[in-house]
Amino acid sequence: MDVKTDQNIHTSVLLKELVGAISLKKDEKNIVVDATLGLAGHAGEILKEMNPGDILVGFDADERNLKLAKNRLEKIQTQYAPEVQIILIHSNFVDLRERLQDNGITYVRAIYYDLWVSSLHFDEADRGFSLRLNGPLDMRFDTRSWKTAAELINYSEEKDLFQIFKEYGEEPYARKIAAKIIESRKEQKFQTTGDLTNFLDEKINTHIKTKMRVFQALRIAVNSELYNLEKSLWDAIELLEQDWIIFAISFHSLEDRIVKQTLKRESRDCLCSDIICSCKHTKTVKILTKKPILPDEWEQKNNPRSRSAKARAAVKI
């Protein structure tokens, strides 16, 4: 599914796999939550399958994407699903449970995540996600939050920068990069993505992979992506009704590890390794994907962005 805006296109990843996994029931009220609405490529296809009285909830931390999704969903709603209620929420999915409760929703029938950024984020210089385009060093999904990539780079301590590049970028030059940033920012603060890429070229190396890892690490830190994902997954599993599905598409190993480990932990009876265990945890999900779902050859060829995608799913028991 290609979703076109005035200048850009976002192609949804693993579309048929995700839509196929969410089988809605007729004559029952289905509440489906898209935790990362983006341009509503997945949500639009699911909306077409929904029945009168069902509810589709879409979250996005990015207000611009939420507005584009709203236009798209309204068109689909008019044509295919006039009696489905659509609730769009400008919020980080870390607050999923609270925002759903604000809307009177205390259980959900299916919930899915399509992580990472939309193609639009990379195509718009002013958001600061792009290596190719010069723009402010921002990288926030939600422009209401206070922490930009420039603030992190210009004011964090060396040990914290090192930790960010090492943990979130798995960057071999993490120590050197952190040390050189401290040196460089004494002369001049980092303001733009161009300042950062030039710095990396001049002071570290010209390898594109180093730049990609540094950008990824900063984006994860700016948006607290890993903490937010883990908390949101716990809440989502708790909100799910029995026999219903949670589905998550991730694009890098750090995210995938969180999805995999959270589902694994929730699929076991006991979390403790102690001999005498008092946690009394009982399993809450059954994993549906022993191995992750990957895009087929056709999709990988036609949408290079899909090549790193991995999806995992589980059903509430």
- Residues at the interface with ligand SAM (CB under 6 A): 3, 10, 12, 36, 38-42, 59-62, 65, 92-93, 114, 116-118, 141, 228
**Do residues 61 and 92 make contact, with C-beta atoms less than 8 angstroms apart?**
yes
291 CB contacts (<8 Å, ≥6 apart)? Answer: none
Q: Which is nearer to ligand SAM, 117 or 177 (CB)?
A: 117
Q: How far, CA to CA in Å, does 52 sit from each of 22, 47, 86, 116?
A: 17, 11, 11, 32
C-beta of 210 vs 232, nearer to ligand SAM: 232
- Alpha-carbon distance of 68 to 90, in angstroms, equals 12
Q: Least CB distance from residue 310 to ligand SAM, whole Å?
A: 14
CB of 232 to ligand SAM, least distance (A): 7
- Closest contact distance (angstroms) between CB of 188 and ligand SAM is 31
Smallest distance from the beta carbon of 12 to ligand SAM, in angstroms?
Answer: 3
Chain centroid to Cα 24, Å, comes to 24
Name the minimum Å distance from CB 198 to ligand SAM: 27
Q: Which is nearer to ligand SAM, 61 or 84 (CB)?
A: 61
Q: Which is nearer to ligand SAM, 28 or 63 (CB)?
A: 63
Q: Measured from the CB atom, is 173 or 247 closer to ligand SAM?
A: 247
Cβ proximity to ligand SAM, 1 vs 287, nearer residue: 1
| Nearer residue to ligand SAM within complex by CB, 8 or 85 | 8
Q: How far is the CB of 181 from ligand SAM (least distance, A)?
A: 25
Cβ neighbours around 122 below 10 Å, total:
17
Instruction: In angstroms, give the least distance from the CB of 157 to ligand SAM.
Output: 25
Residue 150 and residue 190 in contact, taking contact as beta carbons nearer than 8 Å? yes
Q: Which residues contact 135 (CB under 8 A, 6 or more apart)?
A: 124, 125, 126, 127, 128, 192, 193
Nearest approach, Cβ of residue 47 and ligand SAM (Å): 12
CA-to-CA dists, residue 34 to 15, 54, 243, 246, angstroms? 13, 14, 18, 10
CB nearer to ligand SAM: pick between 42 and 109:
42
Residue 285: CB atoms within 10 A of its CB come to 21
